[in-house]
Amino acid sequence: MAMTSESCNGVREGLAPAAVLFRSLADPARLAIVRRLADGEARVVDLTGELGLAQSTVSKHLACLRECGLVDYRAEGRQSFYALSRPELLDLLAAAEALLAATGEAVALCPNYATEPKETLS
């Protein structure tokens, strides 16, 4: 049974939230923040020191992750403590790590998405 253009559009629309989720995790800085928050809550100053990122970078990425509903914070005095808001995210990260291990991290060689330039074979 062939899919019509209309049914293909419906499938794509149904996948849009998943695409946005993966896009939110696609940035290395955001992924580093999420991985760090998997170990427990942290302040912006903690994240900047531990990840070697600028304060503005950390704040920008935390705002993105908050807008996606993946991170939340609690205020304590003048400080904000950030934490993962969805424990399911830990399962997703574990599954991604297992997939990378199973494929020998072959995805890093993907010509469309690899972040490192590939050397040409002689």
CATH number where 86 lies: 1.10.10.10
- CA 63 to chain CA centroid, Å, is 13
Residue 62 belongs to a domain = yes
Question: Is the CB of residue 62 less than 8 Å from the CB of residue 71?
Answer: yes
- Domain count for the chain: 1
Place of tokens 């939110």: 24
Task: Flag whether 9 is in a domain.
Answer: no
In-domain check, residue 41? yes
Examine residue 12 and state whether it is found in any structural domain, yes or no: no
Cα torsion through 63, 64, 66, 71, rounded to 10: -100
Looking at per-residue confidence, does 117 or 52 come out higher?
A: 52
Query: CB count, 10 Å around CB of 33?
Result: 27
Domain housing 30: 24-104
Residue 7 lies inside a defined structural domain of this protein? no
Residue 66 token pair: 């908050």
* Both tokens assigned to 68: 């996606």
Task: End-to-end CA distance of the chain: give it in Å, rounded.
Answer: 45
pTM of the model: 0.77
Residue 75 lies in a domain: yes
Question: What percentage of the chain has pLDDT greater than the value 90?
Answer: 59
pLDDT tens digits for range 49-104: 999 999 999 999 999 999 999 999 999 999 999 999 998 999 999 998 898 888 87
Beta strands in 5-115 (DSSP E): 71-76, 79-84
